[in-house]
Amino acid sequence: SIDRLLITPQRLQGIANDVLSVVALPDPVGETFEGTTLPNGLQVSKRRVPVGVIGVIYESRPNVTVDVSALCLKSGNAVILRGGKEAAHSNAALAAAIIEACQASDIPDGAVQMIESPDRALVKQLLTASEYIDMIIPRGGAGLHQFARENATIPVITGGIGICHIYVDRSADLRKAIPIIYNAKTQRPTVCNALDTLLVHRDIAATFLPEVADALAVANVELRCDPRALAILKAHPAARPAGPRDFDTEFLALVLAIKVVDDLDAALDHIAEHSTHHSDAILTQDFGNAMRFVNEVDSAAVYVNASTRFTDGGQLGLGAEVAISTQRLHARGPMALRELTTYKWVILGNGQVRE
């Protein structure tokens, strides 16, 4: 999508604002936490330190060049950037500006490096450079993530692929539900936290789905419906039958899969089967159902009565993010400053010996 490549004046200002937000955040390096004094007098604590050298392989979005560099520098890490060929010129220009700024400060030479060659063989070399690189973060499609997992000899943190769901419960406030769904699907459909699948309780589907379809028609959203949803929306020009892979697709476009479900159990089962563990939401006024959804949905970000579009470092007060991890170790969700650090144990003694 061209949208993922564009740097408009407004987006460039947004990128700059994200950098300023990172600058304003507390420096995590050197933070001491979980301190305690043992019975033998040893003072034990953990101290936050940089991971080291981080390699980031990414596709399309050139803002990643700046966001990643700012976060890595702020957290005391060096970074090696390898962007996609689609945005090669933008990435090179942004990296040159960053490197020039580093040279004008006391940041060591080489703290930010950009691999400009489009040669794909270099990606495999990067993934196996364990002598020089401490962690790899691939940002892109499923193919890139699989290639990284299969070829890396360095710890890899994957994420960013989002098949995001919203389940509209029987008790949902439908006046709020439509703006939430519209925002999650249409505000920026080419990003990983945009809505892909809408699940609707059967008791409200007949009245609610036509209203949703009419609202989404303003943005020309194509609706790919399961048989029950299609029976309700058969007269709507945007509705068509869902294909066999539509509920397993991150559309990155103005396309929405819709399914009518019997109850919360069915919604949870569907999400468990089709989710990529990114961002999923429930719209409900039933507190018990909300808490059950939060407890049982195994995703990096779980929402109650809000758009999935907030799974973003800047939106969650982190300044920016290197990636959105959908795995459990060592980070999950938006990876910002703290997720780019590790820790060491610090033990202060006064002559203690082990007996």
Condensed to tens digits (0 to 9), the pLDDT of residues 239-298 reads 999 999 999 999 999 999 999 999 999 999 999 999 999 999 999 999 999 999 999 999
Distance, in Å, from the CA atom of 166 to the CA atom of 34, rounded to the nearest integer, reads 38
In which domain, by residue range, is 64 found? 2-158+327-348
Q: Would you place residue 319 in the very low, low, confident or very high pLDDT band (cuts 50, 70, 90)?
A: confident
- Burial of 254 from C-beta contacts in 10 A (0-12 / 13-18 / 19+): middle
Residue 316 lies in a domain: no
179 and 47: one domain?
Answer: no
pTM given for the model = 0.88
Order of strands, sheet of 112-114, starting from the edge strand that comes earlier in the sequence: 112-114, 78-82, 53-58, 135-139
CATH number at 79 reads 3.40.605.10
Q: In this predicted structure, what is the pLDDT of residue 264?
A: 99
Residue 296 lies in a domain: yes
278 and 333: one domain?
Answer: no
Residue 344 lies in a domain: yes
74 and 202: one domain?
Answer: no
110 and 226: one domain?
Answer: no
| Mean pLDDT, rounded, for 49-62 | 93
Residue 315 lies in a domain: no
Whether residue 69 contacts residue 91, with contact meaning beta carbons closer than 8 Å, is answered with no
Say how many domains are in the chain.
2
Phi, psi torsion values for 202, nearest 5 degrees: -60, -30
- Give the model confidence (pLDDT) of 158-204 as tens digits: 877 899 999 999 999 999 999 999 999 999 998 999 999 999 999 99
Whether residue 46 contacts residue 31, with contact meaning beta carbons closer than 8 Å, is answered with no
Residue 281 lies in a domain: yes
Distance, in Å, from the CA atom of 182 to the CA atom of 225, rounded to the nearest integer, reads 17
